[in-house]
């Protein structure tokens, strides 16, 4: 088996059997080539097709919300399958006992199709419209609290979005400081900037379920060219849908076809524009940590840092 994390076939089969004890007979395994965070494997067990996902090691170099984030997926997938028609896979089982592996793992049904990045001769506009409809359905699921609410508990839930995002913003900046790319002045500048504009985050709606990682690798398309899966919900957060739109902007998903499917316009007010800048910066800053702490790519981290400060200069005339 290839990939950054190499596990013996016997251990992987034991993981499958732990979560699907009814499996009887041969288990055929092969790596999923598109995975970038978890180690994933197709597991064929007779007529049943699954995906086994194994979390990274505990010292992999995480953004604050990434550690143990697989633990929130069973609940989120359950909500999607119960309340929407979003094509999310059914999770067969989840294990965080550390009895077989020194990390968490889960088993889920394999949905049909290829990733949008792999699919050829597909009507991308049609797929994007379907993604828009699916994401609008997901956003219709609401919660009374805000922030990362899952079982991985990277922060205390907040009673309003302003406080939740203030915590998220601070924890992300602390992560950049910890990996050596913000000094004390830079950190103070970014924290102070939020304090200056904090009032624009007084989002009055109930918290929406937000995917936060919609891009070509997490969109599945079947043989008919239709959306067959929206996967990898482990980065989900509950809050203002505009922060989701910043990820879509960055990943090239925010197209006219997507918005046609989503069925609601973006906020074009001045306060909305300011929020969009902060949300885009939130997306950019995570890559500083990814490049440095996870990939040991200092040049790549510095490139994202430059992008952050270029954005600040353009948006707020900060020198």
Q: Answer with the one of 110, 145, 177 that is the final residue of a domain.
A: 110
Same domain, residue pair 100 and 128: no
Are residues 56 and 175 part of one domain?
Answer: no
pLDDT tens digits for 276-316? 999 999 999 999 999 999 999 999 999 999 999 999 999 99
**HSE of 14, CA atoms in CB hemisphere, 13 A:** 9
> Is 35 a domain residue?
yes
- Cβ neighbours for 294, distance < 8 A, ≥ 6 positions apart: 60, 61, 62
Assigned domain for 102 exists? yes
Tens digits of residue pLDDT in 195-254: 999 999 998 899 999 999 999 999 999 999 999 999 999 999 999 999 999 999 999 999
Does 169 share its domain with 301?
yes
Same domain flag for 83 and 176 = no
Kindly state whether residues 98 and 201 are assigned to the same domain: no
Judged against a pLDDT cut of 90, whether residue 47 lies above it is answered with no
Short-list 217, 212, 183, CA closest to 33: 217
**Whether 290 and 144 share a structural domain:** yes
pLDDT band, very low/low/confident/very high, at 317 (cuts 50, 70, 90): confident
- Measure the CA angle with vertex 244, ends 51 and 168; round to 5°: 95
Q: Is residue 4 part of a domain?
A: no
Instruction: Give the integer Cα–Cα distance in Å for 14 and 23.
Output: 11
Do both 192 and 79 map to the same domain? no
Reduced to 3 states (helix: H, G, I; strand: E, B; else coil), residue 115 is strand
Question: What is the C-alpha separation between 233 and 202, in angstroms, rounded?
Answer: 26
CATH code of the domain in which 170 resides = 3.90.1200.10
Q: Does residue 195 fall inside a structural domain? A: yes
Over 70: is that where the pLDDT of 5 sits? Answer: no
Mean pLDDT of the chain: 94
Pair 245, 268 in one domain: yes
Domain that holds residue 301: 124-316
Under 8 Å between Cβ of 19 and 27: no
Task: Give the count of domains, the chain.
Answer: 2
Among 32, 2, 6, 30, residue whose Cα is nearest residue 217: 32
pTM as predicted: 0.94
Tell which residue, 211, 177, 150, 153, has the closest CA to residue 285: 177
């Amino acid at each position: 088996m290839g990939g950054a994390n190499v596990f013996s076939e016997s251990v992987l089969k034991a993981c499958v059997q732990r979560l699907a004890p009814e499996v009887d007979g041969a288990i055929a395994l092969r790596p999923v080539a598109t995975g970038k965070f978890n180690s994933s494997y197709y597991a064929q067990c007779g007529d049943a097709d699954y995906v086994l996902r194994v979390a990274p090691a505990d010292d992999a170099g995480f953004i604050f919300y990434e550690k143990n984030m697989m633990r929130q997926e069973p609940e989120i997938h359950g909500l999607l399958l119960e309340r929407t028609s979003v094509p999310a896979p059914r999770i067969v089982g989840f294990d965080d006992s550390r009895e077989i592996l020194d990390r968490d793992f889960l088993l889920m049904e394999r949905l049909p199709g290829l990733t949008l990045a792999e699919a050829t001769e597909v009507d991308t506009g049609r797929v994007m419209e379907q993604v828009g409809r699916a994401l609008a359905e997901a956003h219709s699921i609401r919660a009374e609290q805000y922030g990362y609410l899952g079982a991985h508990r990277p922060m205390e839930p907040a009673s309003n979005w302003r406080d939740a995002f203030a915590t998220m913003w601070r924890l992300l900046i602390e992560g950049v400081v910890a990996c050596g790319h913000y000094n004390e002045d830079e950190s103070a500048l970014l924290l102070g900037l939020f304090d200056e504009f904090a009032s624009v985050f007084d989002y009055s709606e109930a918290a929406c379920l937000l995917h936060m990682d919609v891009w070509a690798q997490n969109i599945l398309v079947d043989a008919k060219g239709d959306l067959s899966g929206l996967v990898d919900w482990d980065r989900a957060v509950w809050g203002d849908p505009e922060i989701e739109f910043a990820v879509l902007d960055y990943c090239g998903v925010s197209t006219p076809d997507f918005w046609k499917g989503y069925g609601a316009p973006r906020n074009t007010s001045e306060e909305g524009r300011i929020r969009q800048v902060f949300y885009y910066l939130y997306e950019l800053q995570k890559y500083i940590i990814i490049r440095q702490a996870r990939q040991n790519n200092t040049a790549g981290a510095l490139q994202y840092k430059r992008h952050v400060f270029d954005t600040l200069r353009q948006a707020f005339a900060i020198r």
